[in-house]
Amino acid sequence: MVTKSKKEEIVAELVEILKNASGIYVVNFTTMTVAETNSFRGAIRSKGLVYKVAKNTLIKRAFAQLNINNIPDKSMFGQSGLLICMDDPTIGAKVIKEVSEKSQKPQLKAAVLEGQYFDGTKLQDLAKLPSKQDLIAGILGSLNAPASGIVGAINAVMRDLASVIEEVAQKNNAA
C-alpha cells in the first residue's frame, strides 16, 4: 500500500517534470512483454525523452495542479505511462509509432502538444509533423533564399558587365 506522503511525493515529482514539457503522451502499456518494454524504454532514452508510470489518479492530480484539463477521463483508464518531451513535442509520437509498428504496443491514449489536446487516433498525424529543428531549418532556408537569389542576380550582372568590357577591350586592341 502506498502511503499518503508517498502519493504526494509522486504527484510533486510529476508536476516538476510536466511543468516544462512541450509534449505529453499518455500511453497504454498493458500486455507489453519485457522485450517490448525494454525496446520502448531504449527508444525513449535514445531520444532524450522522459517516461513515467503512475496510477491514473496521481497523474490526474498532477494534471490538475498544472491546469492540464483537456485530457478527458475516458483516456485515463487501465495502465498509463507518460512519455514526456521537453524540447520537441513531436519526437514522442515518432517514437511511439516506430515501436508500435512491430507489435501494436504501446497504444496512444491521448496527447497534449503545446497545450493542444489530441486523442489516441491521431498518432499517425502527429508522427508526420515536422520536428522543431526541421521547421526552423525550413524558415531559415526560405529567409536565405531571396537573399541568395539577389546575390546570384548581382553576380550575373557583374559577370555580364565584365564580359562586355572584355569584348570591347579586345575589339579596341584588334583595331
Taking CA atoms, 154 is separated from 71, 145, 148, 149, 161, in Å, by 55, 14, 10, 9, 10
Q: What confidence score (pLDDT) does residue 57 get? A: 93
Q: What confidence score (pLDDT) does residue 159 get? A: 66
Q: Looking at the predicted structure, is the pLDDT value of residue 170 above 90?
A: no
Q: Cell 517516461 appears where? A: 51
8 against 150, higher pLDDT: 8
Q: Looking at the predicted structure, is the pLDDT value of residue 53 above 90?
A: yes
Mean pLDDT of the chain, nearest integer: 84
Q: What confidence score (pLDDT) does residue 114 get? A: 85
Q: What confidence score (pLDDT) does residue 19 get? A: 92
Q: Please give the average per-residue pLDDT across 58-63, as a whole number.
A: 94
- Closest among 89, 82, 74, 37 to 58, alpha carbons compared: 82
Q: What confidence score (pLDDT) does residue 70 get? A: 82
With left for phi above 0 and alpha for psi between -120 and 50, is residue 53 left, alpha or beta? beta
Signed CA dihedral, 114, 90, 22, 96: sign only: positive
Q: What confidence score (pLDDT) does residue 58 get? A: 94
Signed CA dihedral, 145, 150, 153, 155: sign only: negative
**pTM for the model:** 0.75
